Amino acid sequence: MAEEAQEDGATRTLPSLRRLSRALPFGRTHGRLGISSSGRPIVSALCSQESADPQQTALLLRKAWTLYSVTPLYRFRRARLRDYARLLSAFIAAEKQKGLAVEVGVELDIKVALSSLADLRGSELDQAALLVQLSSRSRASSRNSEDKLVWSGWFCSVFGDDLSENLPEDFTSLPLFLSHGAESYTSLVGSWFQKTFDCCFRRLAISPQNLSWMVAMWAGCKLDRAAAAVELVFSVPRLSQPLDISYAIHPEDAKALWDTVQKTPGEITQEEVDVFMDCLYAHFHRHFKIHLSAAKLVKVSTAVASAHCDGIVKILQSQYLPGMLMLLTELAISQIQ
């Protein structure tokens, strides 16, 4: 991601989640080209979808999700989820025992469930999220014993209008894919989707610049109870031994700092994020004489969520889920276009 100086902080200021997605100033103005020279997403920390089903969202919280971007699915039919689950299940069985054929529809070791998460979307143009769950059947015990969930993944789009508008009917835009569980299952499920819907998966990394956005965004969140510390992990480049620096800040201090930096509540600008980070760096330098700005920010974690530059996130609070997903959708789309 290009680290360009921002012309005007004000242009990045977007008052609401709704307007945010509509009026992304940098998005793909070169749309056709897809060169988002400064595809910096801005996400307000506010906003939760009140309608979200708590049970459904609970599935998604407190798990480390590995991020992927996915190009639009071709000829995906929401009405056929059950067929897809049978096919995927047979595919997994066939892949696991290469060379042996598997009948579609019979009971197999790995059970596949595909379901829609209807509430998990932003605008009208967004498709409902799609949850894929693999569970292993418990053979020994009785029928009614619970199947054990071994892997889960979900596709979603939250205000992914940039990709979904103007897309022909045959295509379904769900640009963000998150997986949790063994990599081997991710690869099986991924290949099946690729072969079936002619889409492409790519790992989605998060740049240090986006990480600092996230930490600023989350630092300002209101917290009900004694919250975990705000932690930033830096790695020092070009050393023979890897050296990580962890920088933990009391959440109240972080919030106090952010409140002094932020000019308008509900809006975040690049300039404010820079000031916030510079303050943290200056403070650290005063104590340890180390310029953190020369190191690479690799991980941020707060009471709201945590994110690693390799593209792994964990969301802890349900009310911040949509905001987070919106930002990640934005990142995924910029990787696709």
Partner 1 sequence: MQRTRGSRIPKQPRHADQTSQTDLSAWRKGGRVDSEKSLQNQQSVDNDQKYDSQEGSLEEALSYLEEIQDDAALKKNSVLQKHLDAVESTALKQGLPPEVFETLLNVALSGKFADTVNTRILKSLIPASVVPESSVVTAVSWLCVGQCSGNVQLLFLKWLITVFDLIDQKEQLNALYGFFFSFLQDEKVCPYVCHLLYLLTRKENVKPFRIRRLLDLQAKMGVQSHLQALLSLYKLFCPEQVSITLPGKTKKWNAQLVIPASSSNTSNLEEAGEENSVCLYSTDVSLPVEQLQTFPQLLQNIHRLEFPAQMGSVLTSPLLLHYMNCAQEESIYLRLYYWMGQMLQEECTWCVVDNPNEEEFKSFLETIYKAECFLQEGFSACEEFLYKTLPLWDGFCCRSEILRLVSWIPLSSFSDIKSYLYDPLAQLFFTSSIYFKCSVLECLKELLQNWLNCNVIQVDSEFSSSSTTLSGLVNMVAELVHFVGWISTVALRLENNSTFLLYFILNFYGTVCDMYLKYNLPLLIMPPAGVFYPALLSMDSVNLNKLCHIMYRYRTNLVAAKENELSKKNILQFKFSNQTYQEYNQYIIAMVGCLWTSSAFQKDIHPQGLCMDDKLLRKTAVKELKNSFNIVYHPAMMGYSVQFLQQIRPDDVTFNFKSIKGKKWDWYLEYLYSQGLKGLKVFIESSISRVSQASRSKAGNVET
Note the residues at the interface with partner 1 (CB under 8 A).
Answer: 30, 32-35, 68, 71-72, 74-77, 80, 83, 87, 90-91, 93-95, 98-105, 168, 170-171, 187-188, 190-191, 194-203, 335-336
**Minimum CB separation from partner 1 for residue 136, in Å?**
18
Secondary element (H or E) of residue 165: none
Hey, which residues does 136 pair with through a beta bridge? 110, 148
Nearest by Cα to 223 from 196, 199, 250, 242 = 250
Cα–Cα distance between 160 and 329 in angstroms, integer? 6
**Minimum CB separation from partner 1 for residue 180, in Å?**
17
Q: Measured from the CB atom, is 123 or 194 closer to partner 1? A: 194
Q: Measured from the CB atom, is 11 or 196 closer to partner 1? A: 196
Q: Measured from the CB atom, is 56 or 196 closer to partner 1? A: 196
**Minimum CB separation from partner 1 for residue 168, in Å?**
6
Q: Measured from the CB atom, is 52 or 188 closer to partner 1? A: 188
**Minimum CB separation from partner 1 for residue 282, in Å?**
31
- Grouping H, G, I as helix, E, B as strand and the rest as coil, residue 107 is coil
What long-range pairs does 142-150 form, CB within 8 A, spacing at least 24?
147/111, 150/110, 150/181, 150/182, 150/185
Task: Report how far Cα 161 is from the mean position of its chain's Cα atoms.
Answer: 16
Task: Report how far Cα 74 is from the mean position of its chain's Cα atoms.
Answer: 22
Q: Give one word for 178, left, alpha or beta, with left for phi > 0 and alpha for psi -120 to 50.
A: beta
What long-range pairs does 250-254 form, CB within 8 A, spacing at least 24?
251/219, 251/223, 251/227, 251/302, 251/303, 254/219, 254/230, 254/302
**Minimum CB separation from partner 1 for residue 316, in Å?**
28
Q: Measured from the CB atom, is 141 or 166 closer to partner 1? A: 166
Q: Measured from the CB atom, is 72 or 220 closer to partner 1? A: 72
- Tokens standing for residue 90: 């047979």
Q: Measured from the CB atom, is 48 or 194 closer to partner 1? A: 194
**Minimum CB separation from partner 1 for residue 151, in Å?**
14
**Minimum CB separation from partner 1 for residue 225, in Å?**
41
Cα–Cα distance between 23 and 12 in angstroms, integer? 10
Cα–Cα distance between 48 and 31 in angstroms, integer? 29
